[in-house]
Chains A and B, each alone.
Chain A
Amino acid sequence: MKLITGLTAAVLLALSAGGAAAEQGITDTEILLGDVAPFTGPPGLLGIAHNVGVKLAIAEVNAAGGIAGRQVKLVSEDDGYVTSRTIQSIRKLIGVDKVFALTAMSGTGQAMASMPIVKQAGIPAMVPIGQLPAMYEPPINNVFVVGQTYTEGMRQLALYLAKTHPGAKWGVILQDDDYGKALADGLEQAQADAEINIVFETKYARGQKDFASEMLRVKAANVDVLIAGGIISENIGIVKEAEKLSITPTIAAFWPGRVPEVLKAIGPASDGLIGVDYVTPIQSEAGQAFVELAKNYLSEEEVPRINRYTMTGYASTKVLLTAIKACETDLTWACTIEKMQSNPPVETGVMAPVRFGEDNRFSNSPVTIMRADFETLSYSPVKD
């Protein structure tokens, strides 16, 4: 009996040791990563650009000889921004494709819904889109959140506007969901530190396109500073309506829609729009250097798709690949996670250096306030 027990224990030990040595997604020639994002429908605007950034970070590493002689490969899954499809895709990537790590889990709601699966699997996973405190408080050992929360971004934006527009009357238009709630929280936090006089505040249902009545109320309230809390189409509607009503409040919008296409769709009225982001504007020196880098590795069809989401995808994947590279001789999940938390700050060129810690899974990247320029369809950091 003792002999059987001893043999069983030896077999189990051997199996577990073997499992640790041959982590999934690793072969002698390649390392397989998985990416889930929306590539179809309106959210494709962010998903396609993000995926291009992930591919860029991988191409850069492969061009430099790969990691320990292995080429990095990517399996991309389109979830269409539908949570059930995100979960299916994550399960497929982990269980069928057997990827070594995840470079994204789509947007905010999708990543939140996928978190239990990822946590249970223990696979290293990055969150470069739609950051929420619930993703890192308390920290999940294998999940790393790169960027900044909407709440903190809103707080910083409001503090800047309060400083530059003392005594102004504020108007706030927010979406009636988690995104709108996060912005409202940020505004509330800013109110504790600065004088913000909100004279008009309203919420709209997601998907609304006509903002005529909201903007008429903004006009009636003589608003000087307007927070356009929409994502893409909504902000286009809000700013175009302000143009129609011939009102010129300082309009501030958030990073989800900080892409050239939105400025183009708004037209000249987009000039002077205030934005906030934790990645550098494309027109900045660092932004231009990023575009030049991208031209070396991406196809002619991919380069025009570059926007802020390309930068966030690139930065996040670069951080992951840096940790994997640091584990050249021990390519395991445990080593990668350990290197993610102990590596020195990773310089990505498009945002502040990214660093995590033993009990910290959030990069807490600083934000920059920027102003839109319609002529160049870009943003540049404000100087005042």
Chain B
Amino acid sequence: MTYLLELLSSGLAIGAVYGLIAMSFAIIYKSTGLLNFSQGEMSMIIAYVAWSISTGTDGNPFIVAIGSIGFAILFALAVERIAIRPMMGEPILSQIMVTIGLSVIFRALVTLLWDGLPHNMELAAGNALVDFGGIQVRVAQIAVVVMLFVAIAGMWTFFRYSRFGLAMRAVASDDGTAQLMGVKTGRVQMAAWAASAVMSGTAGVLFAIAFELSPSLYGLGLKAFPATILGGLDSVIGSAFGGLIIGVAENLVGGYISSSLKEIAGFVIIILILMIRPYGLFGEKRIERL
């Protein structure tokens, strides 16, 4: 039983990382209709900035958190304003290609601005171990699960009750009509990019604390994207659960069957679920009038 619980706890922790980044994919898609394939790279750059702040100061977690969140927002707004907004109205494939181009640039930037070395990101007690009845978990792993549920609650409240959240849903539904109704779509997009950067940055930082910080961290985006598809590309909260499902499935398959099948476990689940629910577990079926 302990073995199963250990697998589940590890699965939830890595799944929460995937979930936060998956939510970032979904929130941009939901509000702009765009798939941002540089999400993993943005997460990596924010983690590197957090590391620079922590090593450049006394490592106070509040300073690191405020500095990193501030950077994440400015970084996302800059990307949106400089690279994405000029592409509005252009074919969606061109817009996606811009995000792929950005991902390559961001990867190169990390080795140019920092280095190609692995680093131990020590931040407060993030690396410390906590014992839950014989099951050891790192503080950063607990933190990432907590952050995921905070993000889920925050997003649910935001979309359901805030005027801005309703505006975002309106833009997602029909940006032309939303504009006619007075919704400033540019602002909605900026907010979506900022929120996605904060969420994926949080995942990157906590992953770096629990595991390591290196230029291969961008690979988290590749693991999180299938979680978005699983949860539903237009479902921010569904994407979070998609991440948890993939993380737990990977660990259970690795623990009970074989490590070789671990990487494909998530994709097998996605294929099966998409065959039954083509719009993902929580995605909405779009009905188009002809």
Chains A and B come from one and the same complex: yes
List the interface of chain A (C-beta within 8 A of B).
39-45, 48, 173, 176, 202-205, 207-210, 212-214, 216-217, 220, 232-233, 236-237, 240, 243-246, 259, 261-262, 264-267
Q: A173 to chain B: which residues have CB within 8 Å?
A: 259
Bound CA span A243–B119, Å: 17
> Is B211 close to A, CB under 8 A?
yes
Which residues from A are CB-within-8-Å of B13? Answer: 212
Asked if residues B111 and A44 are in contact (CB atoms below 8 Å), the reply is: yes
Contact residue among B118, B251, B253 (Cβ-Cβ distance under 8 Å from A262):
B118
Comparing B165-173, B213-221, B233-241, B277-285, the segment that makes contact with chain A is B213-221
Contacts of B137 in A (CB 8 A): 244
Q: With A232-B118, A267-B120 as known contacts, state yes or no: A41 contacts B251, CB within 8 Å.
A: no
B259: which of A48, A213, A240 is its contact (CB, 8 Å)? A213
Interface residues on B, range: 35 or more
Report whether B211 and A236 are in contact in the complex, using a CB–CB cutoff of 8 Å. Answer: yes
Across-interface contacts of A41 in B (CB, < 8 A): 107-108, 111, 116, 215
Return B51 CB to nearest CB of chain A, in Å.
12
- What's the Cα separation between A216 and B213 when bound, in Å? 23
Is B115 interfacial (CB-CB < 8 Å)?
yes
User: Quick check: B262 and A233 within 8 Å, CB to CB?
Assistant: no
- In the assembled complex, the CB of A255 is this many whole angstroms from the nearest CB of chain B, namely 16
Q: Establish whether residues A40 and B120, one from each chain, have CB atoms under 8 Å apart when the complex forms.
A: no
The answer for the CA separation of A4 and B67 in the assembled complex, in Å, is: 82
With both chains docked as a complex, state the minimum distance between the C-beta of B209 and any C-beta of chain A, in angstroms: 11
CB atoms of B7 and A213 under 8 A apart: yes
| Closest CB in chain B relative to A284 CB, distance in Å | 22
Residue in B closest to A176 when the chains form the complex, CB atoms: B260
Q: Which residues of B contact A40 (CB under 8 A)?
A: 108, 111-112, 116
- Select from chain A the residue with minimum beta-carbon distance to B258: A202
A42 engages B215 (CB within 8 Å):
yes
Chain A min CB distance to B126 (Å): 12
Check if B250 is an interface residue, CB within 8 A of chain A: yes
Closest CB-CB distance, A227 to chain B, in whole Å? 14
Kindly provide the distance from the CB of B149 to the nearest chain A CB, expressed in whole angstroms.
20
Q: Is the CB of A209 within 8 A of B211?
A: yes
Given contacts A45-B117, A267-B120, contact A233 B7 (CB under 8 A): no
Chain A residues contacting B111 (CB-CB under 8 Å) are 39-41, 44
Extra inter-chain contacts (11) besides given A44-B115, A44-B215, A209-B216, CB under 8 Å: A42-B216, A44-B111, A202-B258, A204-B263, A210-B250, A212-B14, A213-B251, A213-B259, A216-B7, A262-B118, A264-B119
